[in-house]
Amino acid sequence: MQQAKKPGTIKNLIYYKLTPVLTLFAVWYLLATGLNNPALPPPGKALLTFFEQIPADLGRHFLISSWRVLASIFISLFAGVPLGLWLGTEERFDRFFAPLIYLTYPIPKIVFLPVVMILLGLGDPSKIFLITLVVFFQILVTTRDAARSVSQAMILSVVSLGAKKLDIYRHVIWPAVLPDVFTALRIGSGTAIAVLFFAESFASSDGLGYYLMDAWSRYAYLEMFAGIIAMSLLGYLLYVCLDGLDRKACPWKGL
C-alpha cells in the first residue's frame, strides 16, 4: 500500500535539504580552521565571494556552462534513448553493435579533446560534443540493458490485445525503461560536469572550468572556491530537476 509521502513540507525541507548542506559547511569550516591556510578558505568567506562574483563575472560563466551541460544532456538523451530501445529489442542488431559499443565505451573520451577542437573549433560545439560523447554512452548502455530485461509476459499480454510494434514501444518498453533512463541521466549529469570542467580548462575563455583554472593560476583561492560552489550548485540544480521530473513521469515507482 502507498506510503504517506509529503516531500514538500517545511519539516522535510529542513531535514532533507538544509541539514546535509549545513553539515557539509560545518565540516568544511572545521577543516579550514584546523588547516589555517589560504588554499582552503572558510565557507563563510567563500560564500561571500560567490555572491559578490555572481553579478561581476561568475554568473555569466555559470550560464555558459549550464547551457553546455544541458545541451549535451539533451542531445545524448535524444540520440541514446531511441538507439538503446532499438538495440535492446532487436537482438540481431544488438549482436552487431554490442562489440562496437564495448570497444568504444571504455575509452576515456577526453583524450579526443585535441581532435575535437581541430574539427569543431574552440567554441561551444567542441565542448558540447565532448560531453555528449561521454553521456551518450551511459544513456545508450543503460537504456539498452533496461529494454532487454522487459518481461516477455508483459509484451505477450499486450500483443494478445492486438498491439503492434509501436504500441509495444509506447505502452510497455518506453515506460519500463523510463526509471532507468532517469538513473542514467543522474549518473550522466555528474559525469557531464566533470567532463565540462576538463573541456573548459583547455584553450577556453569562458565557462566555470575556465573561471576555476583562471582563479587557480592567480592564486585567487576565494574566487576558486566561489567557482567550486557554482559548479556544485549546477550539479545540485540538475539533480533536483531530474528528481522532480522522475517523480512526475514515474508516479508508480516505489509503490
Partner 1 sequence: MPGGGAAVLVDRLSFFYALNGNRVEALKEVSFSIEGGGIYALIGPSGCGKSTLLYILAGLLPPRGGRVLINGERPLPGRRATSLILQEYGLLPWKTVWDNVVLGLVIRRLPAGEIRRKGEKVLKEMGLWELRRRYPAELSGGQRQRVAIARSLATEPDLLLMDEPFSSLDALTREALQDVLQNILQSGGLTVLLVTHNIEEAAFLGRRVIVLTPHPGSVYQIFENPRACSPGYRKSAEFFRLCTELRNALEFAQIRAQDANAGCG
Q: What are the residues binding partner 1 (CB under 8 A)?
A: 1-2, 153-154, 156-164, 167, 171-172, 175-176, 178, 250-252, 255
Closest approach of Cβ 152 to partner 1, in Å?
A: 10
For residues 76, 78, 79, 84, the Cα torsion angle rounded to the nearest 10 degrees is 100
Cβ-based nearer residue to partner 1, 171 or 186: 171
The separation between the first and the last C-alpha atoms of the chain, rounded to the nearest angstrom, is 7
Closest approach of Cβ 98 to partner 1, in Å?
A: 21
Closest approach of Cβ 171 to partner 1, in Å?
A: 7
> What single letter denotes the amino acid at residue 219?
Y
Cβ-based nearer residue to partner 1, 182 or 210: 182
Cβ-based nearer residue to partner 1, 120 or 159: 159
Closest approach of Cβ 1 to partner 1, in Å?
A: 6
Closest approach of Cβ 153 to partner 1, in Å?
A: 5
Cβ-based nearer residue to partner 1, 36 or 252: 252
Cβ-based nearer residue to partner 1, 1 or 100: 1
